[in-house]
Amino acid sequence: MTPPLPAHDRRLYRVCEAMFLLSLSRSVIYELIRSGRLRSVTQGRTRLIPASAIEDYISLLEQTEAKAKLKEIVRDHEDGLAIAPTNYTVADAVRYWLQHGLGGRSSATVKMYNTYADTHVIPALGARKLRDLSVEDVDKWLASKTSELGTRSLKLIHGILNRAVKSAMRRDKIKRNVVDLCDIPEGRAGRPSKALTLAQALAVLTQAEKSGERMRAYIVLSLLIGARTEELRALLWSHVVAYDEAQAAWLPVGEAGWEHEEFAIYVWRSVRQKGDTKTVKSRRSLKLPRRCVEALRLLKEAQEIAQEKAGDGWKDTDLVFCTRTGTPVTAHNVRRDFRKVVEGAGLTGREWSPRELRHSFVSVLSDSGVPIEDISRLVGHSNTVVTETVYRHQIRPVIMQGAAAMDQIFGS
């Protein structure tokens, strides 16, 4: 179809020409004519649209759009909202939150958030204007990640975007948070956590006793008291205590010595950013099975020898689990040495991680009849839900207690 001449060169247009100029269908053109929004004239039996009528209709559209925008601005002003910039993007919001919203977090946590944002959030949604971001955009984005990320990682990237938009809302960059309206889908299945069987646990303990004193004590405590790896790495000798019968008091072993019947540890610290345990309920005191006491005694003796050898190079951190110079051990150190022990016990090292000793603690106690409520308190859970759904792999309905049960299971 040949385009019609510009409006200033023509006075009247046929309906088909008006359709072309206004990019509207024939039925819409006639509906506009019937409603009076588009003027027309007739010449014989032909309906014609004056050029001035087309110009008036375009002007009416522009006025309507301008009025709608003005109403929105007035409404925002009446609601106490600043006028949001139209060029503010999702990437701007995310980067602002990464820079200003992570105060008090460890450098490792900050690095993790930045990596996830740079890898998964900003490349997919960063260029979109924040005010144009919709629920559909977020839903489609999350759905596209389900084959790539696990559920935990999906929750993490959703949380990054959600917090970034909330931060933008507080700064009047947007009026509502569409991310908060989106459900998080199930992600790619990851490697399920496992627990050692009793036979496997005994094999690992036997192999640990052939290893160095540090890894022996680490594995024995992890498996027999269920402490988190982050809690053991922060454990202090001043928090390893013995009950002094003469003084009727719990005293640090450095003061009380090892010639006592009852020993315990105070799980009051972790290697988290501020040194706190994971939750309030995680802060607990645990009586030690005899096997743990012996492992700690041997570790203390070995550490005193190492301190003497190190001389001025020794760092007095009071840490139970430290390097040959007294400095903190890293998660990598623990994982590497733990897998060597697991390999020696006849298992595949790369298939196990130190945290699964805690799972094994829960499973072995439950299999031996300790009630779930007692196990939950021993591992520092705020309630039994996590213990039941994540940590416990076997259930038996017989009543026993933690340290006593472990002495019976593994011997002293």
What positions carry a catalytic annotation? 228, 278, 358, 381, 391
30-38: long-range pairs with CB below 8 Å, 24+: 32/57
Q: What is the DSSP string of 74-139?
A: HHHHHTT-----TT-BHHHHHHHHHHHS-TT--HHHHHHHHHHIIIIIHHHHTTSBGGG--HHHHH
Dist. CA 379–CA 361, nearest whole Å: 9
Closest CA to 39 of 20, 25, 60: 60
* Overall size of the chain counted in residues: 412
Backbone angles phi, psi at 328, to 5 degrees: -65, 145
Q: Are 32 and 23 in contact (CB under 8 A)?
A: no
Q: Is 61 left (phi over 0), alpha (psi -120 to 50) or beta?
A: alpha
Q: Are 77 and 114 in contact (CB under 8 A)?
A: no
Q: Is 318 left (phi over 0), alpha (psi -120 to 50) or beta?
A: left
Dist. CA 20–CA 2, nearest whole Å: 10
- Which tokens sit at 212? 């160095």
Give the three-state DSSP class for 10: coil
Q: Which residue has the tokens 């790619």?
A: 188
